[in-house]
Amino acid sequence: MMTQAASQDQSVIMRTEGVGKTFGRFVALKDITAEFRHGAITSIIGPNGAGKSTYFNLLSGAFAPSTGKVLFEGRDVTGLAQHKFAHLGIAKSFQITNVFPLLTTHENIRVSLQALVSRFDIFRPRTRLHELDDEAEALLERVGLAGHRHRLAGSLAHGEQRALEVGMALASHPRLLLLDEPTAGMSPEETRTMMDLIVRLAQERTVILVEHKMKLVMGISDRLLVLHHGELLAEGTPDDIRRNDTVKRVYLGQREH
């Protein structure tokens, strides 16, 4: 295992080898081989229903691919249970906001931090984990929710909940952060704040971003993957993608509908 990892190209953090996913008879994703560079922002784009979230779910361990392999830092993580991904250093936020609505924002983050430290301790008071409180405070500040520590997560505005979820993802100190349409349903102003946050977070870790609005990610991405009808249509730098005729056709075709 170690030798395999060592022989792996260090500049690649995650790879998929011929992954596909079928739901019943429906083929949502077909034979995708791709690499994600260490330290980069890679965006997965494509029109609605292209298979972005399906691919995202394979990368983040929500379910196993029907075919192919997923490798993280050279290690085969295909079919590994979802909860183990967080411990490996992969964290995610969902396309549809997922927080703990009846816990306070602070508790939301603290419980996420706790997953790495103390999962099955049933007898010590949790207030003894002081360092977690401070760390949770710092994370809340990081995602712009410092003033809201006592509010129930379910009572936050949509944009704030999305920011909270990013904070929860950061709690596991991930080397790889996966975000599925982090700006979905946000106002233009909230969107700008979120994009700034993502750029700042990407200075310290690898980010993979799913987005269907191409314009939004062109400026910040180092590389892009374009999916269409479950297939990898194109891959490259933003300039490559902008010049690609097939991509143009797919996105223009979209607008005509």
Partner 1 sequence: MATDLAFEANRQPSPMLEWATRHRVALASLFLLVFPLVMPFKALAVMILIYGLYALGFNLLFGYLGLLSFGHSALFGAGAYLCGIAIVHFGWPWYLAIGLGLVAGMVVALVIGALAIRTRGIYFAMVTMALSQCVYYLFYQAVDLTGGENGLRGVNLKFVNIFGFQVDFLDPLSRYYIICSFVIAALWVLSRILASPFGAVIEAVRENEARARASGYDVMLVRLLTFVLSGAFCGLAGALLALHLSTVPIETMHYETSGLAVMMCLLGGMGTFFGPFIGAAVFLLLENLVSVWTSHWQLFVGLAFMVCVLFFPRGIWGTVMERMKA
Ligand X SMILES: Nc1ncnc2c1ncn2[C@@H]1O[C@H](COP(=O)(O)OP(=O)(O)OP(=O)(O)O)[C@@H](O)[C@H]1O
CB 181, min distance to partner 1, A = 16
Pairing assessment for the beta strands 67-72 and 75-76 based on DSSP bridges: antiparallel
Pick what 87 binds: ligand X, partner 1, Mg ion, none; C-beta below 5 to 8 Å, kind-dependent. Answer: partner 1
DSSP 3-state of 43: strand
Nearer Cβ to ligand X (87/249): 249
* Beta carbons of 91 and 166 less than 8 angstroms apart: no
Nearer Cβ to Mg ion (95/244): 95
Report phi then psi at 233, rounded to 5: -85, -40
Q: Is residue 54 within the footprint of ligand X (CB under 6 A)?
A: yes
Q: Is residue 49 within the footprint of ligand X (CB under 6 A)?
A: yes
Q: Rounded to the nearest 10 degrees, what angle do helices 130-142 and 105-114 cross at? A: 120
Alpha-carbon span 45 to 210, nearest angstrom: 6
**What single string gives the DSSP state of each residue in 7-21?**
HS-TTEEEEEEEEEE
CB 69, min distance to partner 1, A = 21
Nearer Cβ to partner 1 (83/192): 83
Pick what 102 binds: ligand X, partner 1, Mg ion, none; C-beta below 5 to 8 Å, kind-dependent. Answer: partner 1
Pick what 243 binds: ligand X, partner 1, Mg ion, none; C-beta below 5 to 8 Å, kind-dependent. Answer: none
Nearer Cβ to ligand X (16/112): 16
Helix (H) or strand (E) holding 235: strand 231-236
Site residues for Mg ion, window 94-113 (CB under 5 A)?
Answer: 95
Cα 132 to Cα 14, 63, 84: the distances in Å are 29, 30, 21
Which of the stretches 32-40, 89-97, 194-202, 232-240 binds Mg ion when contact is defined by CB under 5 A? 89-97
Q: Which residues bind ligand X (CB under 6 A)?
A: 23, 26, 28, 46, 48-54, 95, 212
